[in-house]
């Protein structure tokens, strides 16, 4: 059985993962409007991964006999100044998510919930990858000068994501 505090924290994380999916879907739409279809595809797949993260938390809450409480999801912004600005935000957002996961790990330790602590280790590793990918793409975009015309090579590369 989940403690009340852990149940609430996990439900909030379902919401944050769904917000991440919303944010990346909005970024995908922005890239589509810029005719950067590879960037748009990459973001759409990222949004799908975030929905999978939300589902992982959702399923875990139910497995532990917890109650699902779905919260409001705020609208994400829809305009950015450039591709570089988008990836600056992705990187900053993933760092925030890492801090949320770390706070959940600390809560699991505090309430002596070994099962949640164990489940969260998957997300600890996942966040290392999430930050790495965002920062790698950010460096590449900046190297290319963040000019739409210069980004077509990278657009082609990102479009290969499956």
What residues make contact with ligand FEO under the rule CB under 6 A?
Answer: 17, 20, 50, 53, 94, 97, 130
CB of 131 closer than 8 Å to CB of 92: no
Q: Which two tokens stand for residue 125?
A: 């590793």
| Nearest residue to 27 via CA among 84, 98, 72, 70 | 84
Smallest distance, ligand FEO to C-beta of residue 152, A: 26
The least CB distance from residue 161 to ligand FEO, in Å, is 14
Cα 57 from Cα 53, distance rounded (Å): 7
Q: Which is nearer to ligand FEO, 7 or 50 (CB)?
A: 50
The tokens describing 156, both together, are 């082609």
Please report how close the Cβ of residue 98 comes to ligand FEO at its closest, in angstroms.
8
- Give me the least distance between CB of 153 and ligand FEO, in Å please: 25
Is 50 or 155 the residue whose CB approaches ligand FEO more closely?
Answer: 50
Kindly report the CA angle at 135 between 147 and 57, in degrees rounded to 5?
125
Our CB check for ligand FEO shows the closer of 129 and 143 to be 129
**Least Å from the CB of residue 11 to ligand FEO:** 15
Residue number, 131 or 144, with CB nearest to ligand FEO:
131
Where residue 52 falls (left for φ over 0; alpha for ψ -120 to 50; beta otherwise) is alpha
**What's the Cα-to-Cα distance from 28 to each of 40, 42, 66, 123, rounded to whole Å?**
4, 8, 34, 24
**CB closer to ligand FEO out of 43 and 107:** 43
């Amino acid at each position: 059985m989940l403690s009340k505090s852990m149940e609430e924290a996990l439900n909030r994380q379902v919401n944050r993962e769904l917000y991440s999916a919303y944010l990346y879907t909005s970024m995908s739409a922005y890239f589509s409007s810029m005719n950067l279809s590879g960037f748009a595809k990459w973001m759409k797949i990222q949004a799908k991964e975030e929905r999978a993260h939300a589902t992982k938390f959702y399923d875990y809450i139910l497995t532990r006999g917890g109650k699902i409480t779905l919260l409001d999801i705020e609208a994400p912004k829809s305009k950015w100044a450039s591709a570089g600005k988008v990836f600056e935000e992705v990187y900053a957002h993933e760092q925030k998510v890492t801090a949320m996961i770390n706070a959940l790990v600390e809560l699991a330790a505090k309430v002596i919930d070994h099962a949640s602590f164990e489940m969260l280790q998957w997300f600890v590793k996942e966040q290392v990858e999430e930050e790495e990918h965002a920062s790698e793409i950010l460096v590449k975009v900046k190297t290319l000068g963040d000019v739409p015309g210069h980004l077509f090579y990278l657009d082609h590369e990102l479009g290969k994501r499956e």
